[in-house]
Structure 1
Amino acid sequence: MTLTATDSGTRALSGRARALAEDSAEWLHRVRLDPQGRWYERLHADDDHEVWIISWLPGQSTGFHDHGGSAGAFAVVLGELEEATVGDARTLESGEVRGFGERHVHDVRNVSAAPAVSVHVYSPPLSSMNRYDLGPEGELVTLRSESAEDW
C-alpha cells in the first residue's frame, strides 16, 4: 500500500490512521503512561510510511512543530486531544482523524483531565522536524531543527 501525500491530499494517510485506531486491540497493550513526558513508540516503518503510537497525560503537548516535509494523519484512539494551529484550535475526540499536508505546523496537546492515546502515520517517514514558538505578534519563530536520530 503506497501512502503518499499525493493520494488526494491525505486520504490514504487518514484511512491508515483510522484503520489502526479501529483495530487498536493489536497494539494498545504496548502503550505506557509517563508523567515525565509523552510516551511514544514506532509500530511500523518502511520506505513509504511510518506509524507511531503516542500516549498523553493531562497537560502534555508537542509544542508547535512541523514534520520536515512529510504529510501525515493522526487518529485519537482514547480520550481527546486539542490541535492548535496559529490562530485556531480544535478538539478531536476518540474516533476522530486529522490529516495534514507537508507544510502543516501544529501543537497537539491533552487539555483534558484524562489520559489520551493516538496513532500517527507519516509519509514519507519522518527525517526531521522543526520546533517553533509564537512570537509577540502571533507569528511562528523557529527554535531548532531535529533529525530522526534525536528521537
Structure 2
Amino acid sequence: MKSVTLLERIQTLFGSMHNPSSRQLLTAIKQLDARLEDVTPFLKEPGNKPYGRQMFYQNDHIEILVMQWSTYLDCAPHDHGQSYGWVQIIAGSSDHWIYEISPASLPLERLNRKEKSGSYLNVGKGMIHKMGSRGEEPLITLHVYTPPISGMKVYDLNKCAVCIVSEDCGAWWPEEQKQQLKTVRLKGPWENEP
C-alpha cells in the first residue's frame, strides 16, 4: 500500500480553503500531524541567518513553510503583514517573545516563554513576536499562514527602526537594499517629545 506524502496530505487539508479562520487552520495543521521525517527533505541550513526556510506549499490563500533554526541567532521582532496563522514546533524547543507597541511605535517585550516540541503557537494578525532555538535538539518548525505573507515588518530595536521587507527576506534586518521596501526611524524610550 502506497503511503500518502506530506504534500498530498497538505493538498487534501488546505487545498480547498479560502479565507480560513484561525480555528480552521489550527484544526488542519493538527490533522496534518507533520513529523520530522516528513519535513526533513525540505530543510535548509540557516547559514548566517536565524533560520533556513523553505516554502513548500502556496496557493492564493495559504502558504506553508518549514524552518531549520540557527543554534546561535534569534530572529528579529517582526509581524506578518496582514497574515495570521500557526507555528508547529516539530523538534527542539524555542524561546518565544511576544511584544506590544509602545506609544512611540517601538515594540516592548510583554511575554517570554519556552515552547517545546509538539506545541502550536498562534500568530495573530498584527502580532509582533520573535523566536530562537533553545536546548540541545535542533529547532524545526512548520508555519501555516493565510493569506500568503506580504508587507512583513521587521524591527531593529538597537537602531529604533522598522523595515517593511520584500517577500524573499525572512525575519531579520535585510542586508540587501532591494529587500528594504520601506524603512522608518522610531523614537527610543529615552527620546523626549518636543
1:57 offset after TM fit, Å? 2.7
Which whole-Å deviations, capped at 9, do the CAs of 1:88-118 have from their partners, x for residues lacking one? 1111111110112211100111132331100
8 A contact 1:81–1:93 mirrored in 2: yes
| Contact 1:16 1:121 (C-alpha < 8 Å) held by counterparts | no
What RMSD in Å do the two structures reach over aligned CA positions?
2.2
Describe the shift of the 1:19–1:57 C-alpha distance in structure 2 as closer, same or farther (beyond 3 A). Answer: farther
Which protein has greater RCO, CA pairs closer than 8 Å, 6+ apart? Answer: 1
| TM-score, structure 2 normalization | 0.65
The one of 48, 63, 70 aligned to 1:36: 48
Q: Does 1:87 align with 2:120?
A: no
In the alignment, residue 113 of structure 2 is paired with which amino acid?
R
Match of 1:138 in 2: none
C-alpha displacement at 1:61, in angstroms? 1.8
**Residue pairs, 1:5-24, within 5 angstroms:** 7=21, 10-24=22-36
Contact persistence 1:14–1:98 (CA under 8 A): no
Please say which structure displays the higher CA radius of gyration: 2
**Structure with higher strand content:** 1
The alignment's TM-score, normalised by the length of structure 1, stands at 0.82
Among candidates 69, 77, 82, match of residue 90 of structure 2: 77
Q: Does structure 2 conserve the Cα–Cα contact (< 8 Å) formed by 1:130 and 1:142? A: no
| Count of aligned residue pairs for this structure pair | 143
Shift of 1:149: 4.2
Structure 1 position 35, deviation (Å): 4.0
* CA distance, structure 2, for counterparts of residue 81 and residue 129 of structure 1: 21
- Distance in 2 between residues matched to 1:3 and 1:75, nearest whole Å: 21
Pairing of 1:2-151 with structure 2 (within 5 A): 2=17, 4=19, 7=21, 10-37=22-49, 38-85=51-98, 86-134=109-157, 141-150=160-169
Q: Which runs of 5+ in 2 are unaligned?
A: 1-15, 99-108, 171-194
Percent identity of the aligned residues? 21
Mark the CA change 1:3 to 1:24 in structure 2 (over 3 Å): closer, same or farther.
farther
Consecutive unaligned residues in structure 1, runs of 5 or more: 136-140
2:44–2:54 Cα contact (<8 Å) kept: no
Cα distance between partner residues in 1 of 2:63 and 2:97: 23
Deviates more, 1:118-127 or 1:57-66: 57-66
Shift in CA distance, 122/3, structure 1 to aligned 2, threshold 3 Å: farther
